[in-house]
């Protein structure tokens, strides 16, 4: 499954590979638009891409995210998942397309994430998200 994440950076600032991020998108257009629209003028940005295994996904939070924000096509990675990503698109002079960026997803928890291994109780299934991911391939 291919996922994308936009990251804002100041010139000279490096990607924090110990915390690349847990919240990614199946949609490269969404990832780029999101980072562009949330990138102050002084900052630059990159869009990362990674091919992941489904075992890396925090399914309860991914399903919850799809319920709450279906247009983001969000994939939430497990805490401290190892990621082998690359630069998909760069508006930062320090990074070029296809540069490797390997690291960890980090352990960020957002206000609308499940905190204690709670179970998702909605109508979406893991199969629904996998089918959606396949439609982007």
pLDDT at 110: 73
- Vertex 79: Cα angle to 113 and 126 (nearest 5): 65
Q: How confident is the model at residue 113 (pLDDT cuts 50, 70, 90)?
A: confident
Element (DSSP H or E) covering residue 24? strand 23-25
pLDDT at 111: 67
DSSP letter at 57 equals B
Mean pLDDT over residues 39-59, rounded? 91
Note whether 26 and 73 are within 8 A (CB).
Answer: yes
In this predicted structure, the answer to whether residue 77 has a pLDDT above a threshold of 80 is yes
In this predicted structure, the answer to whether residue 112 has a pLDDT above a threshold of 90 is no
In the chain, where are the structural domains located? Answer: 2-128
Q: How confident is the model at residue 116 (pLDDT cuts 50, 70, 90)?
A: low
**Cα 72 to Cα 32: distance, rounded to the nearest angstrom:** 11
């Amino acid at each position: 499954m291919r996922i994308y994440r936009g990251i804002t950076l100041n010139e000279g600032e490096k990607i924090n590979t110990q915390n690349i991020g847990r919240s990614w998108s199946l949609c490269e257009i969404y990832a780029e638009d999101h980072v562009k629209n949330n990138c102050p003028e002084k900052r630059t940005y990159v869009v990362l891409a990674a091919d992941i295994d489904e075992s890396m996904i925090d399914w309860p939070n991914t399903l919850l995210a799809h319920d709450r924000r279906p247009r983001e096509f969000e994939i939430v990675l497990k805490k401290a998942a190892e990621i082998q990503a690359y630069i998909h698109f760069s508006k930062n002079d320090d990074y070029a397309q296809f540069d490797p960026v390997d690291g960890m997803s980090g352990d960020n928890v957002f206000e609308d994430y499940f905190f204690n291994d709670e179970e998702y109780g909605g109508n979406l299934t893991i199969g629904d998200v996998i089918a959606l991911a396949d439609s982007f391939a």
